Structure 1
Amino acid sequence: MVRHVDPEVLALVALGEPLADDADRTHLAGCAECTAEVASLRAVVAVGRSVTDADALVAPSAAVWDRIRGELQLATTPGGDPAAPGEPAPVTELEPVTELDERRARAAVRPEPGEVVAAFTAAGATAAGLIVGGAGGALWASDAFAPAAEPAVLATAALDPLPGWAASGTALVEEEPDGGRVLVVTLDGPAVAGDFREVWLIDREVQRLVSLGVLTGSDGRFTVPAGLDLSDFAIVDISEEPLDGVPAHSGDSIVRGTLGA
């Protein structure tokens, strides 16, 4: 049975932390499943980091709480049966509707248009159907928070070092909802000050190449030109470039790998 990288470690990778364990680094470089999981978690991280001060919650109306209590049967008669339609539902002394009940209910019932409710407490996770997993804080909700569709992974590659280099990395191609393609690359280890590293797609005969852009830091996302045949331009290459103003490949490749399904 294949031993995959621990989910919490994958969450740290998605947050930008380097892999300290050589075995995990080697496994991630060649495992499409773990690579796809990291890509999925990075999408969650991107959403979380995009929240601004302008993203304020709107308080729900009293009618929303009435619907919430009715659906979850938070208010019952002393005999334990739900109150009859049209009658007020008294709250028992043993099971009062608490602030915790309301926080749980916020995540379990979809509000009317214009009424946004949310719950992020661990105590409300069970009732809300909310799962908080690993250090990355990946979230799913049963109703109010529908999970975002994960991007389809079209191809992956392990990036191996070329002579004179000790780095390694991974690459994968994601398909976006509009049909566009994005090359996601991760290079093990942070960039050294003054480094200028460029990402390329090279044909299988290593005769033609297309530059996708400059890699800043240890990972990046690059748009694949529409119409570029990845079955032909299947080699992912990251090079060290001099600051000489020459757009051609320097010939000094750090890592390289071939995309495969």
Structure 2
Amino acid sequence: MPFDESHVDEETLALLALGEPAGTQTERAHVASCPRCTQELDGLREVVGLARDAGPDVLVAPPDVVWERITDELGLTRTGERTTDEPAPPVASLDARRRRPTGGGRPWAWVAGAAAAGVLIGGTGAWVVLRGEDAPTVIATATLEPLPGWDASGTAEVETTSDGARVLVVDLGDTEPSADGFREVWLLTPDVSGLISVGTLEGTSGRFDLPDGLDLAEFSVVDVSEERFDGDPAHSGDSIVRGPLGV
């Protein structure tokens, strides 16, 4: 299907499928409300899941063409030095310079390859993520069950990176947000006497950096709530899904 300027571009959809915070807030809102873009994103996510499940346990270095594309985008030599005296372009400029594919289909092969090899190029700048020794380690997972009045489900997991940082990854599958509100992710104590907001869930999945001092033994329950645009930062009391983290 030819690219339509009224829809989100193929590369942004591909990066969203890979779990990256790609695109602008307006683009992500469009994807959430557009049946065509949502269908495309769901298809790409399915490819990502299949590719990751089938990926090898031991990953080899990416081919030279990967590094060539990166250095071309950043104007670098292979040693990492810039080839011009011009300052590195800001993120917004790099976004604007992304080339849209001219072919007729979505980048299924690119997404599958990136998911399996752990290599991403472009997106909200020009960068690379390589899975291997520095791959995140999952230390806790949760199955998110629906609360009364909601037909939804999902998963959550806590990853640690090589530098010790922790990231909460939440995925609600194909459960789309409502048009008149937004969804917020929280960590609760088991008796719901304490809670901490970790961020707003845009679309159906997201990644949230956790504070260094946060005790996950105390705040061990993941909760996703439906919130209104009322300016009140407190929990609305309307939880969509919830589940305890377990090792």
TM-score, normalised relative to structure 1: 0.50
Number of aligned residues:
158
Cα displacement (A) at 1:169: 0.9
In the alignment, which residue of structure 2 is the partner of 1:135? 112
In the alignment, which residue of structure 1 is the partner of 2:203? 217
Query: Secondary structure at the residue paired with 2:185?
Result: strand
Unaligned runs of 5+ in 2: 1-13, 20-40, 56-61, 82-108, 120-129
In the alignment, which residue of structure 2 is the partner of 1:228? 214
1:54 to 73, 86, 89: 73
Please state if 1:156 is matched with 2:133.
no
1:205 to 191, 194, 210: 191
1:186 to 135, 152, 171: 171
Relative to structure 1, is the Cα distance of residues 236 and 136 closer, same or farther in structure 2, using a 3 angstrom cutoff?
A: farther
Relative to structure 1, is the Cα distance of residues 243 and 57 closer, same or farther in structure 2, using a 3 angstrom cutoff?
A: closer
Query: Secondary structure at the residue paired with 2:112?
Result: coil
Q: Quick one: distance in 2 between partners of 1:234 and 1:114?
A: 42
2:237 to 238, 241, 251: 251
Cα displacement (A) at 1:244: 1.3
Relative to structure 1, is the Cα distance of residues 176 and 204 closer, same or farther in structure 2, using a 3 angstrom cutoff?
A: same
Q: Quick one: distance in 2 between partners of 1:136 and 1:161?
A: 34
Deviations 1:89-124 (A, max 9, x none): xxxxxxxxxxxxxxxxxxxxxxxx579xxxxxxxxx
Following TM superposition, the consecutive aligned residue runs of length 4 or more in structure 1 with deviations greater than 6 angstroms are none
Q: Quick one: distance in 2 between partners of 1:205 and 1:140?
A: 39
Q: Quick one: distance in 1 between partners of 2:236 and 2:17?
A: 30
In the alignment, which residue of structure 1 is the partner of 2:93? none
Q: CA RMSD in A?
A: 4.0
Q: Quick one: distance in 2 between partners of 1:230 and 1:248?
A: 21
Please state if 1:18 is matched with 2:42.
yes
2:209 maps to a residue whose letter is T
2:166 maps to a residue whose letter is R
TM-score, normalised relative to structure 2: 0.52
Query: Secondary structure at the residue paired with 1:217?
Result: coil
Instruction: Answer 1 or 2: higher relative contact order, Cα 8 Å, separation at least 6.
Output: 2
Deviations 1:176-215 (A, max 9, x none): 2221111011112233333311000000111100001111
Q: Quick one: distance in 2 between partners of 1:52 and 1:195?
A: 42
Deviations 1:6-36 (A, max 9, x none): xxxxx999546438xxxx9xxx9xxxx96xx
